[in-house]
Amino acid sequence: MTIARTVACLPEAALRTHDLAVGYRTRRTTHAVLERINLTARAGELTCLMGPNGIGKSTLLRTLAGMQPALWGVVELNGVNLRAMTQAGLARRLGVVLTDRVVVDAWTVRRVVELGRYAHSGWFGGMAHRDREVVEWAIDAVGVRHLADRDFSRLSDGERQRVMVARALAQEPAVLVLDEPTAFLDVPSRVEMIGLLRQLTRSTELAVVVSTHDLELALRTADAVWLVMPGGEVATGAPEDVMLAGGIAQAFEGQHIRFHAAERGFRLLTGDCGAARIRGTGLRAVMAHAVLEREGYATPIEAAADACDVSVEVHDSGWRASAHEVVYAGSDFASLAAFLRARRVAA
Amino acid sequence: MRWIARGTFGAWAIAVVVCVAMPQAGTQRRAPANRTTGCIGQFDPATDYFPDKAKLESATTFSVRYERSYKVVSVNESYPGGPPERYALVQCGAPPPPLTGDLAGAQLVTVPIASLFVLSPTHLSLLADLDRIGVLAGVARRNMVTDRDVVRKIDAGAVVEFAKGGALLDVERVVASKPSLVMSGGTSNATFAVLRNAGIPVAADTEWLEPTALGRAEWLKFMALFLNEERKAQERYGAMRDRYRALSARAVALPEAEQPLVMTGRSTRGLFVIAGGRSYVASLIRDAGARYAWADNTAVGTATVDLEAQIQRAAGADIWINGGGWKNLAAMLDDEPRYRAFKAYRTGQVWVYERRETSSGGNDYWSRSAMRPDLVLADLVRIFHPRLNPDHELEWYMPVAAGGQ
Amino acid sequence: MTKADLGRLTALVLTLVAAILLSLALGSTRIPLRGVFSALMGTSRGSSGAFVVTTIRLPRSLTAMLAGASLGIAGLQMQTLFENPLADPFALGISSGANLGVALVVLDAGYGPASAFGTAMGMRGDALVTAAAIVGAGAVLTVVLIVSNRVASPTTVLVLGLMFGYAVSAVVTVLVGASRPERLQQWAQWGFGSFSGVTWQRLRLFAPLSIVGVLIALATTKQLNALLLGERYARSMGLKVRQARLLTMVGASLLGAVVTAFCGPISFLGIAVPHLCRGLFGTSDHRVLVPAVVLMGSVLALLAQMLSLLPGSAGMLPLNAVTSLLGAPVVVAVLLRSRRGALA
């Protein structure tokens, strides 16, 4: 009973594929990059497309956006086959933000956003009252009101990317597809961009599909994840479902890297120097934990003091470490790390 | 033949002996004409080897100065705007003069030349006029040759074709043939320097830069200087000049009211290319008893004027000469409808020199008219003042046909 | 279109009117402005002044305007289409094609068939040259369009056009090298460019063709604007890119080919006018730029035409030299100024 109700609450599918195959077709050969893909992106949800480099994410995204024909199978937008749509019809249902660097001189931000009305406006691209309203709404939606009359070519990369999103919003699409929108941005802009996209899904009924390399950021923010596995199959679901099923680990783990679902992040494997115990609480303990991990110590949660190679105690003015009856102390984490490294070399 | 040769040699041997014995008498005993072939045997610094001298009357763009065993020929411009050039023409067998002083930088040519490479059809008619076509050893392209004998020689390989590619000379071919002289058409060409470095002199024939028709024709003497044919050139030019002057005197004597106004040229994309006011064409018009619409123009060759300027000057011209390429009067309007602004067009007085045009586009006018201004003048007088020479048969000129399409 | 844009356009219109009047009043013949007006009104029919104004100056001015507008528009289209500020109407090898056609009939160095065919069709002189240029440009355009239809990237198309141009120019050079010297004068004359050869009769063909080309540009301002963001974005916003590209290439090439055929190869205007207008109007919006380029192109062409007929000298300056000498410093100044602005 309860379960049935939950399923009924799942939002409507805005974008759906049936046995889709994407790839390239030349005169002689057909090369499928990904096959038998069945995906759903729902209205009001942020969906992140992830996977190792070169696996075919961009090809898949371009095919979903109708910029490249599917080899086989179907892409549906709100239940309508993509192939049955005109170019303009598609543009009214789906907006795209690409990695292409746009070079356009002497063109204001508002003008760039107005271009998004291409599929709605008349023969000469004149703006009707409603067109203007949508443009102003889009400008507000991405928070670039203060830039509206500035020259587009003089914006920062992050600002430009926002404007390009506003332009896509001006198309009034049901689905927004973004190809690595954070690729060229600095860290705060990345977080802001993903935050903006999430906020857009909440304030509108928009389905947003983003491909990104910011795995940890995506896992924290996305409503759904499409994870392209090395074998070509795609794992889907809420980030937590995918993590739990071990998909992330399978897709990204390598010789020196481990995914820790509990931390929703990766760890670098730096060797095995033994076990360590940490005494203390608060942020300082967490930091000491990080230093020990980086220097190759396992930190089992329940470990007997005598079973450990090193025992570290943190307090307000620094740290004390005891190993084999010898006690060392220092005031910052740099000295702790130096101590641990020196110990390894000695051993 | 053989006997004659031996006889000549005998007489010569005696002459040398006499020379040595009594130098004073030597000049008197020598043949009183220039040597048109071969070399002198023994050089005598006191002998004038060029008893026949060219005397220039109308030509202004080249000059000659005689020494006893060489002559110094100067050309004002080797091509339009080009530097002057000087040639030291040394009698074959005589020692070359030192190339210092005013001879510094001069090209040394041994005369009479034994073989000649020519670049312009005009050169062929110069050789023909001097009865010396035999000296021809190379032509730029075979299609500039009309003489059957020359064509046969080209086929036989006796005359070399050395500029099949238009302005580009086949330098290697020229150098391999070692001609005594290459005569240029008075244009700039970088390969001439290469030839000179290879020891082959290049003389500039800039006859077309002469401002008068007679001056232009006098370049016959320029060619003659290299062949030692001054006597023939003086005679032939003189006769031609006399005919020219006689006819011109009658035409010029006509009262001004009877002198028609004449225009020249044709329009290309609204721009008229006309004969310059100081060109030989303008001098011919003047000498044929007519007024030239652009008499005050200062161009020596052709000039380009705006169609509007031409209408302003020549709308009332009586006669239009030296256009060309038109099928008939009606077709002229297809080419340029504004031709009807000209009275000469409306009255059908449009004359072109295409009477002797071959189907392949060759035109006898281009090869022969330069050296026969008397004939050009006669044609023009026949057109301007028919009653002065009613019996003259037009040599090159013809009216553009009236016919429809 | 802002009020400032409208103001600038109005100023351009006024400048154009002044330039037209000046071009009708200036010439070898001294005709007072009143005479020009009465000639235009047809009240002085039959006078020689009226003849000059109505059959020489008026068609020449109209030709200059059409040519200037056409080249400017074609340059604008090509620059936007190829996202390249150096593109001009002849980027696809159009003028090389026209050159080849003309070379075949003018130089005629043993390649008689072309001119023989023309003569057989009853064409000689300018009409033959124009026809040859149209055929040559059309042939090159057709080949480039067929090839470019198989190529996705605009840059590749641009390089193809360039290579094609080089190949065709090489053939022309061979023809020039093998030509008789007396033919070269006519060839050089063609290269000078001239607005004076287009008579009323030829305007009947020239004007509609170039107006059609300009109308295509006007009708596609929205597409051109979308293309400013690049082909992929344009497609994602609903533009049928292939169709727009074909239409623009055909339109621009038609303009370039028609002007070249009737006026000879006129360099510079095509590349300069769009830059001048972008600098002057401070926008890349084609809804403003298209009318601005039409006006600016007309004005510049008229100015160049007047300068090439410098009063007092019957001898002419080649039009082609004037357009470049006049325009190059202006464009450099505009670009430097706007660049400095961008850095500030």
Residue given tokens 């587009």 in the structure block: A152
Which of C226, C282, C285 is closest, CB to CB, to A118?
C226
The secondary structure of chain B, three-state, reads CHHHHHHHHHHHHHHHHHHHHCHHHHHHHCCCCCCCCCCCCCCCCCCCCCCCCCCCCCCCCEEEEECCCEEEEEECCCCCCCCCEEEEEEECCCCCCCCCHHHCCCEEEEECCCCEEECCHHHHHHHHHCCCHHHEEEECCHHHCCCHHHHHHHHHCCCEECCCECCECCHHHHHHHCCCEEEECCCCCCHHHHHHHCCCCEEECCHHHCCCHHHHHCHHHHHHHHHCCHHHHHHHHHHHHHHHHHHHHHHHCCCHHHCCEEEECEEECCEEEEECCCCHHHHHHHHCCCEECCCCCCCCCEEEEEHHHHHHHHCCCCEEECCCCCCCHHHHHHHCHHHHHCHHHHCCCEEECCCCECCCCCEHHHHHHHHCHHHHHHHHHHHHCCCCCCCCCCCCCEECCCCCC
- Distance (Å) from the alpha carbon of C30 to chain B's nearest alpha carbon: 10
* Chains in contact with C, where contact requires at least 3 CB pairs less than 8 Å apart: A, B
Contacts of B271 in chain C (CB under 8 A): 189, 194, 196-197, 316
- Distance (Å) from the alpha carbon of B361 to chain C's nearest alpha carbon: 10
Q: Do B166 and C314 touch (CB under 8 A)?
A: no
Within an 8 Å CB–CB cutoff, is residue A24 touching chain C? no
Q: Do A95 and C228 touch (CB under 8 A)?
A: no
Residue of C nearest to B337 (CA): C199
Residue of C nearest to B294 (CA): C314
Q: Do C284 and A107 touch (CB under 8 A)?
A: yes
Q: What average pLDDT is seen over chain A?
A: 86
pLDDT attached to residue A307: 63
Give per-residue pLDDT as tens, B221-268. Answer: 999 999 999 999 999 999 999 999 999 999 999 999 999 999 999 888
- Asked whether the predicted pLDDT for residue A101 surpasses 60, the reply is yes
Q: What is the pLDDT along chain B (405 residues), one digit of tens a residue?
A: 444 444 444 444 444 444 444 444 444 445 568 888 888 888 888 889 999 999 999 999 999 999 999 999 999 988 878 889 999 999 999 999 998 888 888 999 999 999 999 988 888 889 999 999 999 999 988 877 877 888 898 899 899 988 876 556 888 889 888 999 999 887 777 788 888 888 899 999 988 888 888 999 999 999 999 999 999 999 999 999 999 999 999 999 999 999 999 999 988 888 888 999 988 899 999 999 999 999 998 888 888 888 888 998 999 999 999 988 788 898 888 888 899 999 999 999 999 998 887 665 567 887 788 889 999 999 999 999 999 999 999 999 999 998 654
Within an 8 Å CB–CB cutoff, is residue C205 touching chain B? no
Contacts of C238 in chain A (CB under 8 A): 87-92, 118-119, 171
Q: Do C222 and A123 touch (CB under 8 A)?
A: yes
Within an 8 Å CB–CB cutoff, is residue B346 touching chain C? no
Residue of C nearest to A176 (CA): C236
Residue of C nearest to A153 (CA): C342
Which of B305, B308, B335 is closest, CB to CB, to C56?
B308
- Distance (Å) from the alpha carbon of C287 to chain A's nearest alpha carbon: 8
- Distance (Å) from the alpha carbon of C18 to chain A's nearest alpha carbon: 29
d(CA C101, CA B282) in angstroms, rounded, equals: 35
Q: Do B361 and C108 touch (CB under 8 A)?
A: yes
ipTM: 0.81
Q: Do A154 and C342 touch (CB under 8 A)?
A: yes
